[in-house]
């Protein structure tokens, strides 16, 4: 059944620009805050892949000021009917994976949010771009950097924007820590620690299928530590080392990582030590230390509320549903060319993919991998 499901999903993925990137050193001269949901055009979004996370996004959009669900894409007719009724999406704006290219002729859809298994992102985003619609893609953006670059190129050639679902880039406590670091309140940054993991359940789920997930815990939860190390330290890493541990060869088959420890080095001399795992609970913590202060967040990347403190005291910014903030901000990025507190474009995602590629190489070879993220 597992193989048939995989084959079915892969058949659905048959093949048919980016926003300007704000470099980290520009943060020192930028006001860091979530992009305001100023009045403007409503972003009309089609959701692709109507699973659990899409349900969270859909619910969050109901509280958005600038976003509305106007399309649905799924391979399950019952979901299209149920979601269509719940969110008032007419039948003419409901599609399956074989015919969604027809969104090209639907003026009520501005963008498509791709929330499908990782292996499907590449072809689906390219098809969205070819249909002339902006693409929002869940992370990781692709299975590897080569695929990610092709997605970036396709969106650029089509004249549409490619955004990635980095919801933490708009989370108020996270944004405040980034602001404090950029303002020099922690002094020169020395060390970051990111711990991301949980014990995964159902062994037949797509996240444990290499053909659909592209890996294991690293692709799902480890990417938070990778991305977090970059925006917390405020630099791009120049090398990575990594070590893989696997205790369950049945659940975690070849090419599906269970636990990876990895270390990143940065130009200033700052270092990061991170853990990505599918075999331990209670791991959702970021810790940043500089010469003059520190920041600790735990939980650091969960759906919320995020909790944190610095050497100056507890972080007290109010919790707002992450996906609501993300989607309203993305409306501003698409329509107004707003600059987000931390980039969420395809180039940002490509850098994470390059690091993931290097981590897997480091695990396979046991050698330090040099990074050139540009």
Q: Which residues contact 65 (CB under 8 A, 6 or more apart)?
A: 37, 39, 328
CA 352 – CA 362 distance, rounded (Å): 15
Cα 147 to chain centroid distance, Å, stands at 15
Q: In this structure, what token pair is assigned to residue 238?
A: 């120049």
132 secondary structure, DSSP code = T
Instruction: Say if strands 313-314 and 308-310 run parallel, antiparallel, or are unpaired.
Output: antiparallel
Q: Which of 68, 133, 139, 351 is catalytic?
A: 139
Task: Output the CA–CA distances (angstroms, integers) from residue 302 to 61, 168, 213, 224, in the order listed.
Answer: 18, 9, 20, 10
Pure H helices in 110-171: 118-130, 145-158
Indicate the length of the chain as a whole number. Answer: 374
Q: Which of 69, 65, 66 is nearest to 89 (CA)?
A: 69
Provide, for the chain, the percentages of residues in helix, strand and coil under a 3-state DSSP scheme, each rounded to the nearest 5. Answer: 40, 20, 40
Other Cβ atoms less than 10 A from the Cβ of 294: the count is 15
Helix (H, G, I), strand (E, B) or coil at 48: strand
State the Cα angle at 228 between 199 and 23, rounded to 5°.
155
If phi over 0 gives left and psi between -120 and 50 gives alpha, with beta otherwise, what is residue 160?
beta
If phi over 0 gives left and psi between -120 and 50 gives alpha, with beta otherwise, what is residue 255?
left
End-to-end CA distance of the chain: 43
The verdict on whether 224 is a catalytic residue reads yes
Task: Output the CA–CA distances (angstroms, integers) from residue 183 to 94, 152, 178, 218, in the order listed.
Answer: 47, 32, 9, 31
Q: Which of 224, 231, 278, 360 is catalytic?
A: 224
Catalytic residues: 139, 224
């Amino acid at each position: 059944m597992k193989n048939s499901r995989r084959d079915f999903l892969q058949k659905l993925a048959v093949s048919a620009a980016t926003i300007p990137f704000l470099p980290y050193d520009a943060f020192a001269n930028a006001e860091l805050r979530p992009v305001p949901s100023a009045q403007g055009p409503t972003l009309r979004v089609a959701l692709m892949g109507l699973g659990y996370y899409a349900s969270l996004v859909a619910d969050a959009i109901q509280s958005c000021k600038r976003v509305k669900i106007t399309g649905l894409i799924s391979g399950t007719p019952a979901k299209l009917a149920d979601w269509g009724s719940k969110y008032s999406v007419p039948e003419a704006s409901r599609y399956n994976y074989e015919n969604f290219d027809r969104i090209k002729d639907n003026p009520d859809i501005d963008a498509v949010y791709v929330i499908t298994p990782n292996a499907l992102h590449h072809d689906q985003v390219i098809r969205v771009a070819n249909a002339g619609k902006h693409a929002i893609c869940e992370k990781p953006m692709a299975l590897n950097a080569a695929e990610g670059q092709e997605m970036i190129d396709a969106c650029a050639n089509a004249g549409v924007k490619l955004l990635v679902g980095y919801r933490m880039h708009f989370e108020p406590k996270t944004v405040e820590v980034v602001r404090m670091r950029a303002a020099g309140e922690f002094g020169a940054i020395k060390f970051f620690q990111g711990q991301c993991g949980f014990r995964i359940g159902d062994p037949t789920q797509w996240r444990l299928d290499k053909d659909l997930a592209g890996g294991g815990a690293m692709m799902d939860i480890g990417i938070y530590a990778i991305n977090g190390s970059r925006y917390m330290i405020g630099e791009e890493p120049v090398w990575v080392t990594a070590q893989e541990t696997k205790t369950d060869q049945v659940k975690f088959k070849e090419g599906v990582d269970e636990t990876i420890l990895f270390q990143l080095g940065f130009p200033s001399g700052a270092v990061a030590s991170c853990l990505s795992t599918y075999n331990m609970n209670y791991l959702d913590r970021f810790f940043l230390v500089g010469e003059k202060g520190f920041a600790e967040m735990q939980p650091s990347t969960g759906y919320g509320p995020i909790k944190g403190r610095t050497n100056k005291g507890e972080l007290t910014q109010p919790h707002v549903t992450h996906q609501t903030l993300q989607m309203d901000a993305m409306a501003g990025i698409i329509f107004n060319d707003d600059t987000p507190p931390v980039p969420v474009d395809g180039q940002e995602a490509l850098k994470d993919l390059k690091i993931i590629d290097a981590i897997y190489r480091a695990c396979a070879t046991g050698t330090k991998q040099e990074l050139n993220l540009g």
